Every structure is written in structure tokens, then in C-alpha cells.
Amino acid sequence: MKEAGCDDESTNGVVVMVEPYSQTEQIQHVIYRILDANLDRAREGLRIIEEWCRFGLNNAQLALECKHLRQEIANWHTPQMRAARDTLGDAGTELSHPQEEQRANIKSLLQANFGRVQEAMRVLEEYGKLTHPNMGKAFKQMRYRVYTLESTLLGYQRHQLLLRSRLYLVTSQSENLLSTVEAALKGGLTLLQYRDKTADDTVRLEQAMKLRQLCHSYGALFIMNDRVDLALAVDADGVHLGQQDMPIAIARQLLGPQRLIGRSTTNSKEMQGAIADGADYIGVGPVYETPTKVGKAATGVEYVSYAAKNCPIPWFAIGGIDPNNINEVIDAGAQRVAVVRSLMEAEQPTLVTQYFLSQLYRVKANA
């Protein structure tokens, strides 16, 4: 800010005090500087997000929304705001937080930039109200568009990762729960379901939270078995629901469109129902009888062949699948499988994961 009253000019030896900037002008100048800095900040953040939508996800629609937002922001950037810029005199240019120097992965890079854009828009909304009657309203609307963009982008990334996942580990109770899961993640696992039918909710919550963090640190998806409430509580990527669990429509209302919902199916009728209800993926089985699901009749590989010909959404053959019969399941048409004991009871879960994946990647994915 210019110091008030310090400018003077000499005319014919007579010192004439130049009218200092009025207080109103000084404040206006400061507001323009704030608006200028935050208009730039919002555009820069959006550009970083746009590059990922365009080159990382090949998603023209999301990239276009970033571009439209950037253009709309640019329309508010007036010459007076640009003229108020004083980079050398800006005490904030040297300030940076250690967290800004590090980004663990794309997810945290995107999160940081969404945060930056939303913060800048909030500043523009508030200070904009002092400058133009419509600026506050315009930036409020844009801020909500950015929230929607963030949630759409997250949902899109989840679906993409689901499509890429060939192996699904469903957990069982184990003293080595975390180390076994981590070993599988090291072998390339990208999809995990936490399943514990008997533990207290306090234990489930604690384990689910740890597993979600672990999965996300490896860039894998984390799904909660049976419980929509726990899925929300630990910010899971989705939930797996059986035929006796909550109806998909209600789960969808609670979870929103961006989280994944899986459904168990044992026959064509259940498969068609799950698809009609909007499941993101289905379980197909138990293919073989299994002590993990006592009393549930095996469907045989015939149902796997039926799914291969008729299921348009991602599906996972499940039930009694192990390294000895995986090729029989693949020959029946499976491209994705889910297992419990084969990994939870493996001596070397990393190697078994790698073996399963090597077999499953031999076949091309359709859905």
C-alpha cells in the first residue's frame, strides 16, 4: 500500500503537496491486489487439474469443464486488477508450506489443487462483493461447480480403477490382516474388500480405517462388506452388498453416484436385477463349494460362462478359486476373480497375487 501523504512535487520553488491517495482508493487498491492474486491462483490450479483430465484420463468432458471455468475466471480479470499487481512488494511470494514441496501421488496433487482453487474462489466471492454486484454470486456458483468437478473426477477415477482390477481380495479374520493385505498390494492388488462377519463395530471401524489408508497409499480401492454406514464412516470407495443386504437403491441414495456398489449373484435373475438396480460390479458364484461361505450351493463354471456371454458390467468369479483351478475359471470366460483363502492363507501372498494376475492378464477385458 502506498504511504499516505508522502508524495510531493516542486513547482517554481513552491512546494505543493500532492493530494494523497484517499483511504477509499488505498483500500480499493488492496482489494484489486487480492482479486488479481486469487484470480491467477484459481486459474493456475484449474490448469493443473485440466492437464490430468486431458492427458492422464483422456476425458475431454472433464477437461472442457476446467477450460470453461478458467475462461469464466479470466473474464473477471480487469485491467485495473492487473495494474494493481506488485509482485516485488508482495510479502507472500516467499511463503510456502513444506507440504507444498511434496506430492505423494496424483491423488494428493489433485486434492491439493482442488483445495487451492476452492480457497481462491472463496476469497474472490467475498472480496468480489466489494467490487462488483455480481462477482460474489458468480464465484459462489463457480465454487459449487468445482466441488461437482472434484466429486465427478474422483468417481471417474474409481470406475477406471475398478475396470482395470482383475483380482479382488476379500479378507477374513486374521492376526496378520494388515501385513497380508500389504503383501498382496505389493504384488499388484488394486481392489480389496474388508469382510469380517463377527467383530464388534469398534474393531471393524478401526481395521477398516487402517485398511483404507493402506489401500489408498498403494493406489488401490477399498470396499466395505455389508455395511453402508461403516463405508461412509471410513470414507471407503464403496460397499459390497449380498442379496440379503440393503437394497442397491437405498445404498445409492446414501452413498451417492461416485462410490462403488457391488452385488452378489448366483444366477441370471439376480444378475439382471443387479444390473437394473445400478450395481457397478457383481460377484458371480460361489463357483465351487467353499468353507468360507458354508451352506451356499456352488453354481459351477456354467454360471461363469453365462456371465461371460451376458454381463455388460465388471464381474468377479468367486468361491473356491485357487492357483490350481484359476485356469478352469478363466477358460470358462472369467477375466476377473475374487478370493479369500487363496491369499489370506497363503504363505507368500505377494507371489500368489503375482501368479493370479499373470494368468488373468493373459485374457482381454471386455466390460
Ligand X SMILES: Cc1ncc(COP(=O)(O)OP(=O)(O)O)c(N)n1
Ligand Y SMILES: Cc1ncsc1CCOP(=O)(O)O
Beta carbon of residue 162, minimum distance to ligand Y (angstroms, whole number): 18
Query: By CB under 6 A, is residue 292 in contact with ligand Y?
Result: yes
Three-class secondary structure of residue 279 per DSSP: coil
Amino acid at 353: T
Residue selected from 33, 41, 166, 195 as contacting ligand X according to rule CB under 6 A: 195
Beta carbon of residue 262, minimum distance to ligand Y (angstroms, whole number): 11
Beta carbon of residue 264, minimum distance to ligand Y (angstroms, whole number): 6
Tell me 297's DSSP state: P
Kindly give, in sequence order, each residue whose CB lies less than 8 Å from that of residue 183, ignoring residues fewer than 6 positions away: 348, 349, 350, 353
The contact pattern for Mg ion, residues 244-283, with x = CB under 5 A and - = no contact, is -x--------------------------------------
Return the number of the residue (295 or 312) whose C-beta is nearest ligand Y. Answer: 295
Return the number of the residue (229 or 322) whose C-beta is nearest ligand Y. Answer: 322
Query: By CB under 6 A, is residue 43 in contact with ligand X?
Result: no
Residue selected from 131, 157, 190, 225 as contacting ligand X according to rule CB under 6 A: 225
Kindly give, in sequence order, each residue whose CB lies less than 8 Å from that of residue 359, ignoring residues fewer than 6 positions away: 326, 327, 330
Among the listed ranges 27-35, 201-209, 287-295, 349-357, the one in contact with ligand Y (CB under 6 A) is: 287-295
To the question of whether residue 269 is assigned a binding role by annotation, the answer is no
Query: By CB under 6 A, is residue 45 in contact with ligand X?
Result: no
The 10 Å Cβ neighbour count of residue 93 is 10
Residue 320 touches which of Mg ion, ligand X, ligand Y, none (Cβ within 5-8 Å per kind):
ligand Y
Beta carbon of residue 190, minimum distance to ligand Y (angstroms, whole number): 18
Mind giving me the DSSP string for 144-185? HHHHHHHHHHHHHHHHHHHHH--EEEE----TTHHHHHHHHH
Phi, psi of 150 (to 5 degrees): -60, -45
Query: By CB under 6 A, is residue 188 in contact with ligand Y?
Result: no
Amino acid at 56: G
- Spatial distance between the Cα atoms of 349 and 66, rounded to a whole number of angstroms: 42
Return the number of the residue (109 or 232) whose C-beta is nearest ligand X. Answer: 232
- Spatial distance between the Cα atoms of 63 and 68, rounded to a whole number of angstroms: 9
- Spatial distance between the Cα atoms of 308 and 334, rounded to a whole number of angstroms: 6
To the question of whether residue 331 is assigned a binding role by annotation, the answer is no
Q: Is 186 a catalytic residue?
A: no
Location of C-alpha cell 461361505: 293
Phi, psi of 34 (to 5 degrees): -60, -45
Query: By CB under 6 A, is residue 114 in contact with ligand X?
Result: no
Q: Residue 167 forms beta bridges with which residues?
A: 337
Residue 292 touches which of ligand Y, ligand X, Mg ion, none (Cβ within 5-8 Å per kind):
ligand Y
Q: Is 195 a catalytic residue?
A: yes
Among the listed ranges 36-44, 90-98, 135-143, 313-321, the one in contact with ligand Y (CB under 6 A) is: 313-321
Q: Is 67 a catalytic residue?
A: no
Kindly give, in sequence order, each residue whose CB lies less than 8 Å from that of residue 325, ignoring residues fewer than 6 positions away: 288
What does the binding site for ligand Y look like in residue numbers (CB under 6 A)? 170, 264, 285-286, 290, 292-293, 318-321, 339-342
Enumerate the active-site residues: 195, 264, 293
Q: Which amino acids are annotated as binding site, given as ranges?
A: 193-197, 225-226, 245, 264, 290-293, 320
